[in-house]
């Protein structure tokens, strides 16, 4: 099967009627042209940045998904057959691929996955892939954490957030306050990730809890959500606070008129705050080699614990998996298992 875009979604949550699941004949090894490989998807990723590709306007990266064409995302796949000198049958690769179970294509843009890394290949879509590099490079480049500082992290139980919390705490010695929605996520942050304190933004007052947990203010705010949380982080800033603006998921489904005003922004001046947005792609060349060495090592040493949210049931469950992740159903990095390797 393959999963196509049925209609664009300019605002509001993406719903299942935006997708079309269609039966397509699987290509065969004998169909391969010179240089091509035959791939079978093992895991596909669902990520918040994909929301922007459901809007039919040029986005900040990649273009909009096209009606009648497959959705694309980060994928781990096995090579079933190869007419390329760089790949052989049985190799595991990852890259941006269409949501198609089996496909024949030029392998340009694909990278090999280390088969015996000591953890599941799906980690190359999470902790050891794009979300991991986002946490690793964003912290180093923009947050510049120092031992003893106080950091607030939003969407802390998610793919990027759980890594940000652990790098800050276990590698950099920073006090971490993690924000997440719901008691099971708060339990996870306390018991599995061992952050210093937590805020359940769905049942507690963010303003009250930030004031209690950071009485002297915040040195770092890792922004995954934007909106009211960014506004409050500014209000509780200390001089020279740094804010890596990673994402603003609370705003992605809103129309431009609905996007929240930022009253705390006056503090940017008073507190000489450095706020910096970033796109992980810009930091790839500078950080990828270091990251590839450090992150798998931190995982093997137990410095970083990885929690995945694996959705079973194949590619036909990928639309539901994406929609649910955007609402917060996931704990840790959500990945769809297409076939078992
Ligand atoms: P997550 O695994 O964190 O999943 C998304 C989470 O966002 C949900 O689980 C939910 O957690 C939270 N969320 C959803 N809606 C809201 C809302 N209205 N208000 C507050 N929180 C909400 O996804 P990722 O770790 O992959 O991505 C996290 C952020 O990082 C996103 O904003 C994403 O766009 C950004 N990003 C940016 C990159 C870059 O290059 N700049 C690269 C990768 C990611 P909860 O239940 O706790 O609310």
Establish whether residue 198 lines the binding site of ligand 1, counting it when its CB lies within 6 angstroms of any ligand atom. no
Helix, strand, coil percent content, the chain, rounded in steps of 5:
35, 25, 40
pLDDT tens across 121-153, in order? 999 999 999 999 999 999 999 999 999 999 999
pLDDT attached to residue 255 = 86
ipTM above 0.95, yes or no: yes
* Alpha carbon distance 169, 282 (integer Å): 25
Read off the pLDDT band of 256 (50, 70, 90).
confident
The protein residue with its alpha carbon nearest to ligand 1, atom 47, reads 180
pLDDT tens across 268-311, in order? 888 999 999 999 999 999 999 999 999 999 999 999 999 999 99
The protein residue with its alpha carbon nearest to ligand 1, atom 38, reads 246
Establish whether residue 158 lines the binding site of ligand 1, counting it when its CB lies within 6 angstroms of any ligand atom. yes
Distance 107 CA to ligand 1 centre (A): 30
The strand pair at 308-311 and 150-153 is best described as unpaired
pLDDT attached to residue 330 = 97
Establish whether residue 94 lines the binding site of ligand 1, counting it when its CB lies within 6 angstroms of any ligand atom. no
In the sheet that holds 274-277, the strands lie side by side as 197-200, 175-180, 150-153, 218-222, 237-245, 274-277
Lookup: tokens for 260:
């929240």
Residue 219 has pLDDT above 60, yes or no: yes
* Alpha carbon distance 167, 169 (integer Å): 6
- Tell me the H-state helices in the chain: 130-138, 159-166, 183-188, 206-213, 227-235, 266-270, 280-301, 318-327
Question: Between the CA of residue 230 and those of 37, 113, 136, 154, 331, what are the distances in Å?
Answer: 45, 36, 21, 9, 22
Q: Which atom of ligand 1 is nearest to the CA of 278?
A: 41
Establish whether residue 325 lines the binding site of ligand 1, counting it when its CB lies within 6 angstroms of any ligand atom. yes
Q: Which of the listed residues 158, 232, 253 should we mutate to test ligand 1's pocket, taking the one with most ligand atoms within 8 A of CB?
A: 158
Establish whether residue 143 lines the binding site of ligand 1, counting it when its CB lies within 6 angstroms of any ligand atom. no
Mean pLDDT of 196-203: 98
Establish whether residue 157 lines the binding site of ligand 1, counting it when its CB lies within 6 angstroms of any ligand atom. yes
Question: Between the CA of residue 209 and those of 161, 177, 178, 212, 337, what are the distances in Å?
Answer: 19, 10, 11, 5, 38
Contacts of 241 (CB under 8 A, 6+ apart): 217, 218, 219, 220, 221, 233, 271, 273, 274
Longest dimension (CA), the chain: 67
Residue 340 has pLDDT above 90, yes or no: no
Distance 33 CA to ligand 1 centre (A): 40
- Tell me the H-state helices in 126-250: 130-138, 159-166, 183-188, 206-213, 227-235
- Tell me the H-state helices in 204-279: 206-213, 227-235, 266-270
Spell out the domains of the chain, with CATH numbers in brackets.
Answer: 2-126+308-337 (3.90.180.10), 130-281 (3.40.50.720)
Q: For residue 295, which of 174, 153, 158, 119 has the smallest C-alpha distance?
A: 119
Mean pLDDT of 311-322: 97
Lookup: tokens for 246:
């990673």
Lookup: tokens for 265:
């922004």
* Alpha carbon distance 233, 93 (integer Å): 40
* Alpha carbon distance 251, 249 (integer Å): 5
Note whether 189 and 164 are within 8 A (CB). Answer: no
Distance 176 CA to ligand 1 centre (A): 18
Lookup: tokens for 99:
């949501």
Lookup: tokens for 284:
């790839």
């Amino acid at each position: 099967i393959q999963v196509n875009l049925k209609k664009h979604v300019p605002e509001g949550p993406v719903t299942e009627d935006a997708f079309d699941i269609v039966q397509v004949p699987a290509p065969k090894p004998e169909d391969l042209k010179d240089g091509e490989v035959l791939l079978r998807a093992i895991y596909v990723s669902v990520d918040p940045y994909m929301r922007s590709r459901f809007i039919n306007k040029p986005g900040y990266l990649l273009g909009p998904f096209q009606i009648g064409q497959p959705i694309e995302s980060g994928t781990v796949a096995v090579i079933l057959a190869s007419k390329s000198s760089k790949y052989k049958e049985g190799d595991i690769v990852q890259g941006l691929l269409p949501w198609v179970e089996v496909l024949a294509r030029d392998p340009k843009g694909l990278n090999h996955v280390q088969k015996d890394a000591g953890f599941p290949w799906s980690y190359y879509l999470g902790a050891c892939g794009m979300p991991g590099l986002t946490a690793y490079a964003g912290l180093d480049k923009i947050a510049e954490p120092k031992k003893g500082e106080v950091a607030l992290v939003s969407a802390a139980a998610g793919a990027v957030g759980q890594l940000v919390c652990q790098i800050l705490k276990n590698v950099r010695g920073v006090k971490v306050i993690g924000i997440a929605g719901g008691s099971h996520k708060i339990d996870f942050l306390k018991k599995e990730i061992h952050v210093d304190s937590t805020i359940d933004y769905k049942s507690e007052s963010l303003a009250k809890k930030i004031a209690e947990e950071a009485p002297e203010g915040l040195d770092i705010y890792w922004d995954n959500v934007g909106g009211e949380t960014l506004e409050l982080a500014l209000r509780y800033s200390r001089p020279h606070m740094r804010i890596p603006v990673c994402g603003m998921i609370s705003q992605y489904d809103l129309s431009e008129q609905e996007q929240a005003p930022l009253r705390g922004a006056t503090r940017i001046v008073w507190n000489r705050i450095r706020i910096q947005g970033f796109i992980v792609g810009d930091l790839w060349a500078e950080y990828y080699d270091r990251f590839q060495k450090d992150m798998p090592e931190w995982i093997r040493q137990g410095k970083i614990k990885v929690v995945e949210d694996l959705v079973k049931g194949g590619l036909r469950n990928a639309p539901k998996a994406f929609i649910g992740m955007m609402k917060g159903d996931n704990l840790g990095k959500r990945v769809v298992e297409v076939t078992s390797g």
